[in-house]
Structure 1
């Protein structure tokens, strides 16, 4: 069962942000993990606090709310736009926002929007769990295969870059990130775009020591240098390459289980 809905408020108006905090405190099952006053601060807060929902103003100094979503890409939490203007609504829903609230926000409308956000969160978690169950089933089938059978060769990954076909060995990768329906493969300071979904690749690579730690991130376990805990219990993994990646709440238990297994395997 999912815990409290972790919410980040992004609004450059302090009075509006404080009012939104008061409204959210009256909502059961909601945890405000931070307030950001512009896009740059919001980008840092999303990566550090791993909120599940952002209440996002549109018109802010240093870039609007749509620019922030562009920068976040597939890492973007569920979005509820909150603005004083109604003429951005069509564009907001084109960006898959779950709701569009106009200021001043009525408590009943906020509760309705949060209900939609919970439904979107549940749908995301359900999709992730199905992909992970498929990967676990594939691993079990391989474990139960006849001992005399020759182990399958590790799959090679082929990507196209500047008209060239490049062959990548999975063990050379650090991590993978979702880019809409495609996946970006990260190898040191290089990256390659592959026309296969992150879910499909996570399933293929799970037997080779890869773990999905976020809805948009898969890591090679051997590349993990440390696991860090942030505020409000949010986790992130830091790789030997220096990359710091968020850990989703629904994936934290599997990461901890792997960590405990590593400790138990030490002499």
Structure 2
């Protein structure tokens, strides 16, 4: 795993370099003394993980993460200020380490990293499949994604519509959509996800799928038009 140290203090960078050298799963790709330099490194070479300071001259570490958006590597913040913790975790970072970083604390952070990577890999594997497993009363049922017409959020439940049946599962729509492959499904409303290949017609702001009517909100209309590749 290629990692990059970003910190304006040389002593902090030296400490991290020593700790990284003790973990065989990490390869140090470089070190930067400011966020602007790090940004150029990230866009010019594959970086999987940033050990990132927050308070630096010019662009802060948090501003760097926000500027990278979805292309951001995994982040472990390293800082002397505890009061950044809440804002840091809002950015979905792996960990937040207070400097100076001890060997024990570094090992704990590496465990969090490994758990995150394991979960991410598992989620990707699920998304690559053409079926899901759902709980139907006391039965775990295998459901082919090609059978699914659309899904509807109903409070703490999600109703799954197939051509001749519906299933009600205890879950949130967000949790379900995270397990569905993007090439099959698209969100068209805060309460609805549709199987794009099952769309029969689009009339105004209403989709028809096997005689079922699904509303389309304005916020999702552009993405729907793009996916449908309307001629």
TM-score normalised by L of structure 1: 0.48
**Contact 1:131/1:203, CA 8 A, preserved across alignment:** no
Higher gyration radius (CA):
2
Deviation per CA, 1:220-267: give whole Å up to 9, x if none. xxxxxxxxxxxxxxxxxxxxxxxxxxxxxxxxxxxxxxxxxxxxxxxx
Deviation per CA, 1:2-48: give whole Å up to 9, x if none. xxx32211111122112210111012322111212211221222223
For 2:13, the equivalent position in structure 1 comes to 17
Equivalent of 2:119 in 114, 117, 123: 123
Could you say if the C-alpha distance between residues 125 and 68 of structure 1 is closer, same or farther in structure 2, counting changes exceeding 3 Å?
same
For residues 44 and 70 of structure 1, what CA distance do their matches in structure 2 show?
15
Q: Please, which runs of 5 or more residues in structure 2 have no aligned partner?
A: 132-144, 147-173, 186-231
Q: What secondary structure, in the 3-state scheme, does the structure 2 residue paired with 1:42 have?
A: helix
Following TM superposition, by how much is the alpha carbon of 1:108 offset from its aligned partner in structure 2, in angstroms? 0.7
Following TM superposition, by how much is the alpha carbon of 1:59 offset from its aligned partner in structure 2, in angstroms? 0.5
Q: Is 1:29 paired with 2:34?
A: no
Q: Is 1:63 paired with 2:59?
A: yes
For residues 32 and 54 of structure 1, what CA distance do their matches in structure 2 show?
10
**Contact 1:7/1:30, CA 8 A, preserved across alignment:** yes
**Contact 1:6/1:52, CA 8 A, preserved across alignment:** yes
Following TM superposition, by how much is the alpha carbon of 1:200 offset from its aligned partner in structure 2, in angstroms? 3.9
Q: Compare the two structures and name the one with the higher strand fraction.
A: 2
Q: Compare the two structures and name the one with the higher helix fraction.
A: 1
Following TM superposition, by how much is the alpha carbon of 1:203 offset from its aligned partner in structure 2, in angstroms? 4.7
Q: What secondary structure, in the 3-state scheme, does the structure 1 residue paired with 2:130 have?
A: helix
TM-score normalised by L of structure 2: 0.55
For residues 45 and 111 of structure 2, what CA distance do their matches in structure 1 show?
21
**Contact 2:15/2:101, CA 8 A, preserved across alignment:** no
Q: Please, which runs of 5 or more residues in structure 1 have no aligned partner?
A: 136-140, 143-180, 182-195, 205-267
The alignment's C-alpha RMSD in Å is 2.7
For 1:106, the equivalent position in structure 2 comes to 102
Deviation per CA, 1:162-196: give whole Å up to 9, x if none. xxxxxxxxxxxxxxxxxxx9xxxxxxxxxxxxxx9
Following TM superposition, by how much is the alpha carbon of 1:63 offset from its aligned partner in structure 2, in angstroms? 1.1
**Contact 1:78/1:120, CA 8 A, preserved across alignment:** no
Q: What secondary structure, in the 3-state scheme, does the structure 2 residue paired with 1:88 have?
A: helix
Q: Is 1:201 paired with 2:201?
A: no
Matched length: 144
**Contact 2:128/2:181, CA 8 A, preserved across alignment:** no
